[in-house]
Structure 1
Amino acid sequence: MNNPYDYALPVQELIDRYRQLYSGAVYDVLEGLGFPHQALAVDVKPVVPSWVLAGPAFTIKGIPDPTGDEKLRARRIELFAAMKETGVPLVDVRDCSFDEQAAHYGEMNATVGASCGVIGAVVDGGSRDTRFLIERDFPIFCRYLTPVEALRRWSYYDWQTTVALRGALTATVTVSPGDFVFGDIDGVVIVPRDVVVEVLERTEALITEENETRGEFESGADPVQVYRKHGRL
């Protein structure tokens, strides 16, 4: 299997450049390229509005688990080892199997994950230990906050496989290892791996054009002429 984290540009450069963008522009470029269904559900938002998250996806599938089976939970060691072995910064992306009972992420996940290269998480479910996550400025995007522990309610099932998170325009959005995650206050969009660099470059060009257009409007130029010149707002 090819390395899903081998892009045409270094991963850290991609992260740094994507972090200068905003989700609306990334979405517009994706839609223009024929990918209109890449936005996650509207309730998947950052716990802190100012958080911006960008990076390649490390995918996790979890399932309801009322038994808390020791063998299943013991696989966490394998999970964290797999994260570390990628050798790149990662976004922990969690498909929680539509569970709405518990917190599927928390401060200890962040602590262990960070030691394995994780720089943030997108959770189609709940998170907790929020005060500690905010104090360490560890960006979490999730659907809800709750104090309820996941033990004997939900557990890891598989990872580094294609998962499905709730979508804004479709029931679900698929996420595969190496897809690029971008999130800000407006929500989260998933950039398919094969177009990560193209979307970045097109979005940068779009934002440059927007800045030029904005400058012309603010300069006092005839707004009708500015609109005719650029043809897009």
Structure 2
Amino acid sequence: MPATTAPEQKGTDIQRTPAQSSEIRQRFLAVDTANVADVLDDMGHGNYGLSPRLTLHTGSRLAGWAYTIQGEMAPYPGTGDALKMQACNGISPDEVSVWSGGGEGVCYFGELIALGMMQRGSAGALVDGGIRDVRWLRQLDFPVVAAFRSAIQSIGRWRVTGFQAPVYLPGATTARVVVYPGDFILADEDGAIVIPNSIVEDVLAKAEEMTAREVAIREAIGNGLSLADALKQFGHV
């Protein structure tokens, strides 16, 4: 198994207008991670799936541009994490906060952070660590992918060390996946995947084509065509 994904063009190297970014995000909400994963395989970028331990805990789908936050387990005095608050206040519309840095056993994302980020237009969160306030996050309908749940707070135990810099997340087919600020994050019931910023539009267009073929195949089978004949007519997906 490769140790990490090969570095792609950094996410911040490609600029889009807010309207373009929002349109792309809305289109991604209509495709499945399975189709995106297949497209990435076909394009030779097969190591961008995230670890199966990162699962969707709230919301039905997560899609947005990566806003990265990194931290570490470290005891510290006081009752707050100033850098964490600074990081949370920097997120923009259509962005997903991507939290990296371990933190086994503790929570560093919950309802109040979600409320603050929602006010700024955040589209959800991907947390390689613990979350809590799950009942309230569900009521907010705020999509969150996380490694686990924990009632134990991070204050005094885990702290933010930086944000909007490349981070590592555990991969499905590689030990680590590099996530750059501005990469695209997509997650649903099947899992979570990273799409490098430099190929986002190409991946989206191909995934939409695959989705349209799947819809046609379902309709054909529903109308009595055999699976073999449907695949012969429409092609494999």
> Normalization by structure 2: what TM-score?
0.88
Return the alpha-carbon distance in structure 2 between the equivalents of residues 6 and 68 of structure 1: 40
Matched AA of 2:216: E
1:56 corresponds, among 43, 54, 65, to: 65
Residues 28, 204 of structure 2: 8 Å contact kept: yes
Q: CA deviation at 1:227?
A: 2.7
Residue 168 of structure 1 aligns with an amino acid whose one-letter code is: A
Q: 2:72 matched to 1:33? A: no
Instruction: Output one character per residue of 1:145-200: Cα deviation in whole Å (capped at 9) or x when no partner.
Output: 11001011101100000000111111111111100000101111000001111111
- Alpha carbons 2:55, 2:145 under 8 Å: kept: yes
Structure 1 stretches lacking a partner, 5+ long:
none
For residue 30 of structure 2, the aligned residue among 20, 24, 29 is 20
Secondary structure of 2:90 counterpart: helix
Instruction: Output the CA distance in 1 between the equivalents of 2:13 and 2:232.
Output: 43
**Aligned residues of 2:221 and 2:230 also touching (Cα < 8 A):** yes
User: In the TM superposition, what is the alpha-carbon distance from 1:41 to its structure 2 partner?
Assistant: 0.6
Per-residue displacement from partner, 1:94-143 (whole Å, max 9, x unpaired)? 00x23212002111111121222322100011100111111111111101
Quote the RMSD (CA, aligned, Å): 2.2
Aligned positions of 1:47-126 closer than 5 A: 47-48=57-58, 51-68=60-77, 73-83=81-91, 87-95=92-100, 97-126=101-130
Between the aligned partners of 2:104 and 2:124, the Cα distance in structure 1 is 21
Distance change in 2, residues 1:174/1:69 (3 Å): farther
**Residue 225 of structure 1 corresponds to which residue in structure 2?**
229
Do residues 171 (structure 1) and 181 (structure 2) align? no
Distance 1:134 1:31 in 2: 33
Q: Which runs of 4+ in 1 moved over 3 A?
A: 1-5, 222-225
2:154 to 150, 156, 165: 150
Deviations 1:34-92 (A, max 9, x none): 111111110111113x510111000010111211467x822234323432xxx432100
1:196 paired to 2:196: no
8 Å Cα contact 2:83/2:162 also seen in 1? no
Asked if the contact 2:35–2:210 (Cα under 8 Å) also holds between the matched residues in 1, the reply is yes
**How far apart, in 2, do the equivalents of 1:151 and 1:174 lie?**
27
- Identity of paired residues, percent? 28
Q: 1:173 to 1:129 in 2, by over 3 A?
A: same
Report the Cα distance in structure 1 between the residues aligned to 2:139 and 2:110, rounded to whole angstroms.
13
AA aligned to 1:76 is: K
- State the distance in 1 between where 2:34 and 2:11 align: 31
1:135 and 2:143 aligned? no
CA contact (8 A) 1:5 1:56 kept: no
SS at match of 1:10: helix
Structure 2: unaligned runs, 5 residues or longer: 1-9
